[in-house]
Each structure stands twice: as structure tokens, then as C-alpha cells.
Amino acid sequence: MEISDIIGSILAILTFVGVIVALGLGLHSFRENRKLLSRQFKNKLLDDVLSWALEFAECGHGLVLELQRDFKNPPENLADIARAEGIAMGNLYLAYLRIYYRGKYIKEISPLLGGELKNLIDEVMKQLVKEIEGCKKYKDRFLEVKGDMKKHEEVRNGWVKEGEEARNSIADAVYGLIRGISEVAREYSS
């Protein structure tokens, strides 16, 4: 065997080892990149869920403030007040429907985030459905009172009472979901 044959064999072996090392590095890089993309995807989903939950938590409050702004120059008679309140309830109903349909998407992606989050999302959706049903009910009731002050007060008191009862359960559901999101986010970040 000549020296050129030995050198050629060594170079072939080194080339083969270099190809194997490059292939190993490429596979490692590919796997790490997939993990990173998966983590980024799940973090985006968590952001979507969080923004949806916060939008629901803030929705009713914002529309009530809008209604109060409109009442700086309140209507003169009870029928106009009842009509304005009915319209405000209709607007709140539409806002909740928008959040509800976004929630259907959130519910579809929830299995990707884990079982516990799916249960928390279901609880928030349950609270949202209750709010939607309440808006439908009171929107129509406000429009029915016409000029009857006693009936108007009954409807308003019923709406306020239901709102106070719902506020705590909504806050608990949204807070539980936010806490669940932060736990899942910690798992993904480690």
C-alpha cells in the first residue's frame, strides 16, 4: 500500500465522519427549531386565550360607562330612558355575541393547551352564555315598560341584582383561567 492510498483512505474516512457529524448537527438543529416553533405557537395560543378572557371581563363595564356618558343629558321621560336602556342592553348583547363567537374558536384550540385549560375555558364560556341570555331577557323587558315607573324600577333592580350575582362568578372564572394560563406558560417556558 502506498502513502497516497493511505492518505486517500484517511481523507475518505474523515470526509465520511464529517458528513455524519454535519448530519447529526443538522438533525439536532432541526429538532431544536421544531421545539422553538412549537413553544412559540403555544404561547400565541395562550395570548389569544388571555386576550379573549380579558375582553370578556372588561366588556360589560365599558358599555355601562358608555351608557352613563350618554346619560349626562338624560332623556326627559321614562319611555325614552327605557328605550335608551334597551338599546344599551342590545349593544351589550352584540358585544357579548362577538366575544362568544371568538370563544368558540378558543374552545376549538383548547385541547392543544391541556385538559385543565379546556375546563377553565368551558367555565368562562358558561358564564358568557349566562350573560348573553340575561342581555336578551332584559333588553326586551326594558322595551316593554313604556311609561310605567314601578315596572321600570322592577326591571332595573332585577338587572342590577343579576349583574351583581354574575359579577363574582365571572371574575372567579376569568381569574381561574388567567391563573391556569400562567401555569401552562411556565411549563412551556421551561
* CB atoms closer than 10 angstroms to residue 69: 9
36, three cell numbers: 422553538
| Mean per-residue pLDDT of the chain | 80
pLDDT digits (tens, 9 = 90+) for 94-122: 888 899 999 999 988 888 887 788 888 98
Return the ∠ at Cα 151 (arms to 149 and 152), rounded to 5°. 60
- Assess whether pLDDT exceeds 70 at residue 70: no
- Assess whether pLDDT exceeds 50 at residue 82: yes
pLDDT attached to residue 101: 92
Query: H/E/C letters for each residue in 63-85?
Result: HHHHHHHHCCCCCCCHHHHHHHH
pLDDT digits (tens, 9 = 90+) for 38-61: 888 888 888 898 898 888 888 765
Amino acid at 97: L
Q: Which residue has the higher pLDDT, 90 or 12?
A: 12
Q: Is 35 helix (H, G, I), strand (E, B) or coil?
A: helix
Mean pLDDT of 159-185: 83
* CB atoms closer than 10 angstroms to residue 94: 13
77, three cell numbers: 321621560
Query: What percent of the chain has a predicted confidence (pLDDT) above 90?
Result: 5
Lowest mean pLDDT among 69-78, 85-94, 108-117: 69-78
pLDDT attached to residue 65: 47
- How distant is the alpha carbon of residue 46 from its chain centre? 8
> Which residue has 363574582 as its cell numbers?
168
